[in-house]
Chains A and B, each alone.
Chain A
Amino acid sequence: MIIDLKQFIEKEKACWEELEAVLDQLEKEHTASMSLDEVRKFHYLYERVSADLARISSFSSERGIQKYLESLVARAYGEIHETREKPHQFRPVAWFFVTFPQTFRKHIRAFYLSTAITLAGCIIGGMALGLDASSREILMPFDHLIMNPKHRVAEEEKVTKDHLKGVKVRGAAWYMANNTQVALVTMAMGATWGIGTIIMLFSTGIMLGSVAVDYMLAGQTKFLCGWLLPHGSIEIPAILLAGQAGFMLAGALIGWRQRIPLKMRLRTISGDLVTLIFGVALMLVWAGFIEAFLSQYHEPTIPYSFKIAFGCIQLIILTFFLSRSGKNEALRANVSGIASRATPEARSFLAKSGVAPTLEEVGAKTDEAEPTGENVEQ
């Protein structure tokens, strides 16, 4: 059967144009939501245009109309079939205090691997410098690091004025941009099945280890701690987290002991990767400020004890934040899940014992549920 093209176009064109207008609107205002009637209308138009496409594909070789309808159906299909678990508005505070630390803990083994490789680099770098002092220039590729630690400390401690006046903000911006770029590359290198990430972390470790041993052998441990701890207590963990993200990506690509297909594995971790990337970026922004405004000032301007204490407190807070923050929410969400499936008697027992919320609270909590893992998108 050959369809009457003229009549077909005349009859259906209004629907096509209406669907196109709805799609244009949706693409323009992608945070806007539709009313139930609008959703019904949209679905009706999608089904009708799909039927037109099926009809024209079967009964006509008119490629122009077919392509047009295919593009409409493709766009509508993309709008109707979401990949997100639940649409929501991005909540930065909840994301920072709940999603980010939860994501970190979810992939803790990748973090351990990242830490182990960096530590291995530190040990080898430290040993190499301890055994062969002439290797300094290879192990420490920065001019200010090659300088003899004793001389450097003496020079730094001579300074009594604000020697960084007029360049501090620029310095902070440079540290932020440069360190974030390094972190992004470390994470992206996970795409080389983790080999690039290993190289990046190991080389960072070698540099850190050799610098640390160099200053310790020169008897400048206090200066070293006062110099590195304020910003390093955030910056180094941030790089380790970037390595963690790189290994997550590598793990998904390799798929060791995983029976799900590659595409699914990558889809599963992509949200967590983004969470870690943004978390790392935030940490490095903070570290950039500290490095420019605190780390570069030494005694007598700022006492080492203050800088060391600041760094230690910061590290404790970070450890506590990453290991504890959002834990109650995760537990509560799990209990809510169990409670919502429990019998009324069991539910009332859980509510009375204070372990679980009441069903009403569960409902309210579900409505307010914060994004987890992959839900970083708006």
Chain B
Amino acid sequence: MTTTQNQYSSRQPYSGPGKQKNLTIRTPEGIAFSLAIASPITRFVALVIDKICIYVASSVIGLAIQLIGLISADMAGAFWIVASFILSTGYPIAFEWYWRGQTIGKRIMRIRVMDEQGLRLNFSQVVVRNILRFVDMLPGLYLLGGLFAFFSMRGQRIGDIAANTIVIQHAEISEPDLAQINPGKFNSFKELPHLVGRLRQNISPAEAGIALQALLRRDTLDADARLKLFAEIRAHMEKVARFPPETIQGTSDEQYVRNVVDILFS
């Protein structure tokens, strides 16, 4: 049985009252994965982009219809009415179905509509959530839908609640550059296998993770903050395994952490 649960992340900003940041889904295989819920602001920007797309498409169709108007003004008028209606109502349905929960705006903003249980999006869900835009738009400018999205736990507007869908944010995925941890440099710690063994045995994955993340994000830190952070990590590491003074003589705090991470993760 699939279960969903709330999971807060201290790294992400709190974006609304009582709001979940992530939707964690536990699969029948016992694997948990989390989906970051898109903020109402991101969704609004995507909506604006979609409206612009509809406007541009309408203009292009309008030009084509002018040509039909040369043959029959009546037919041109009919085409224009039908095309406008289909564009405004059918655009999100067609794109969300064909692109698996994405429209042009959503794709640009890296957000996607998903089933609330992480399942494949159903055609009926796509239709229901888009038809209910008529209610979400009330009394104007998506006020009702916006309020629901802002105050509901999972950022759902009325259409999402009725269709059991959520809108998730795709994280920018990049493989960590592990080469920068200790790129081809001599590591004096490796000459002391008994201390390396003690370090590996006594350090927890969380502690090792902090050291690794500090190195991977070093370029995003201020110079002072970086010095302070690596000094603190070194002080902590030294409590776990103390290397002889001759091995660490002249080694900066950051290099010390590099050497430790090199041992732990390779």
Q: Report A's interface with B, CB cutoff 8 A.
A: 1-7, 9, 27, 30, 47, 50, 53-54, 57-65, 67-71, 73-74, 77-79, 81-84, 166-170, 172-174, 176-177, 180-181, 184-185, 187-189, 191-192, 196, 249, 253, 263, 266-267, 270-271, 273-274, 277, 374, 376-378
Residues of B within 8 A of A9 (CB): 175, 178
Q: A77-B118, A82-B119, A173-B77 are in contact. Are A62 and B212 (CB under 8 A)?
A: yes
Q: Give chain B's interface residue range (CB within 8 Å of chain A).
A: 35 or more
Q: A62-B209, A180-B85, A188-B131 are in contact. Are A50 and B29 (CB under 8 A)?
A: yes
| Alpha-carbon distance between A169 and B80 when the two chains are bound, in angstroms | 11
In-complex Cβ contact of B209 among A61, A71, A185 (8 A): A61
Q: A50-B29, A167-B74 are in contact. Are A6 and B127 (CB under 8 A)?
A: no
Stretch from B189-197, B199-207, B218-226, B245-253 that touches the partner: B199-207
Q: A9-B178, A30-B100, A166-B73 are in contact. Are A266 and B131 (CB under 8 A)?
A: no
Cβ contacts A to B, 28 pairs, < 8 Å: A2-B200, A2-B203, A2-B208, A5-B212, A5-B266, A9-B178, A58-B205, A60-B209, A61-B208, A68-B175, A74-B33, A74-B118, A77-B33, A78-B115, A78-B121, A81-B2, A167-B74, A170-B77, A172-B78, A176-B81, A177-B81, A177-B82, A180-B85, A184-B89, A184-B131, A266-B164, A270-B128, A271-B124
In-complex Cβ contact of B34 among A70, A170, A181 (8 A): A70
In-complex Cβ contact of B265 among A5, A81, A169, A267 (8 A): A5
Task: Judge whether A267 and B81 touch: CB under 8 Å.
Answer: no
Asked whether any CB of chain A lies closer than 8 Å to the CB of B109, the reply is no
Residues of A within 8 A of B115 (CB): 78, 83
User: Lowest 10 CB-CB distances: which A-B pairs, in order?
Assistant: A61-B209, A377-B123, A170-B77, A173-B78, A70-B33, A177-B85, A173-B81, A188-B134, A169-B78, A274-B124
Q: Report B's interface with A, CB cutoff 8 A.
A: 2, 25, 27, 29-35, 72-75, 77-79, 81-82, 84-85, 89, 100, 114-116, 118-125, 127-128, 131-135, 158-159, 161-164, 170-171, 173-176, 178, 200, 203, 205-206, 208-210, 212-213, 216, 264-266
Q: A5-B178, A59-B205, A185-B134 are in contact. Are A169 and B77 (CB under 8 A)?
A: yes
Residues of B within 8 A of A4 (CB): 265-266
Residues of A within 8 A of B75 (CB): 169
Q: How far is the CB of B29 from chain A (nearest CB, A)?
A: 6
Residues of A within 8 A of B135 (CB): 188-189, 191-192, 196
Task: Judge whether B77 and A79 touch: CB under 8 Å.
Answer: no
Task: Judge whether A78 and B162 touch: CB under 8 Å.
Answer: no
Task: Judge whether A187 and B123 touch: CB under 8 Å.
Answer: no
Task: Judge whether B175 and A378 touch: CB under 8 Å.
Answer: no
Residues of A within 8 A of B134 (CB): 184-185, 188-189
Residues of A within 8 A of B33 (CB): 53, 69-71, 73-74, 77
Q: How far is the CB of A186 from chain B (nearest CB, A)?
A: 9
New contact pairs (13) apart from A2-B208, A7-B266, A173-B77, CB-CB < 8 Å = A9-B178, A60-B205, A61-B209, A77-B25, A78-B114, A78-B118, A78-B121, A184-B134, A188-B131, A189-B135, A196-B135, A270-B125, A270-B163
Residues of A within 8 A of B31 (CB): 50, 53-54, 73
Residues of A within 8 A of B82 (CB): 173, 176-177
Task: Judge whether B206 and A61 touch: CB under 8 Å.
Answer: yes
Task: Judge whether A83 and B266 touch: CB under 8 Å.
Answer: no
Residues of A within 8 A of B212 (CB): 5, 60-62
In-complex Cβ contact of A170 among B32, B81, B131, B171 (8 A): B81
| Alpha-carbon distance between A82 and B100 when the two chains are bound, in angstroms | 14
Q: A6-B178, A61-B210, A71-B170 are in contact. Are A267 and B164 (CB under 8 A)?
A: yes
Q: A27-B100, A70-B33, A271-B124 are in contact. Are A2 and B205 (CB under 8 A)?
A: yes
Residues of B within 8 A of A249 (CB): 162
Task: Judge whether A82 and B164 touch: CB under 8 Å.
Answer: no
Residues of B within 8 A of A374 (CB): 122, 124
Residues of B within 8 A of A167 (CB): 74, 77
| Alpha-carbon distance between A54 and B266 when the two chains are bound, in angstroms | 20
Task: Judge whether B213 and A61 touch: CB under 8 Å.
Answer: yes
Beta-carbon nearest neighbor of B102 in chain A: A27
| Alpha-carbon distance between A265 and B170 when the two chains are bound, in angstroms | 29
Task: Judge whether A181 and B85 touch: CB under 8 Å.
Answer: yes
Q: How far is the CB of A23 from chain B (nearest CB, A)?
A: 10
Task: Judge whether A191 and B170 touch: CB under 8 Å.
Answer: no
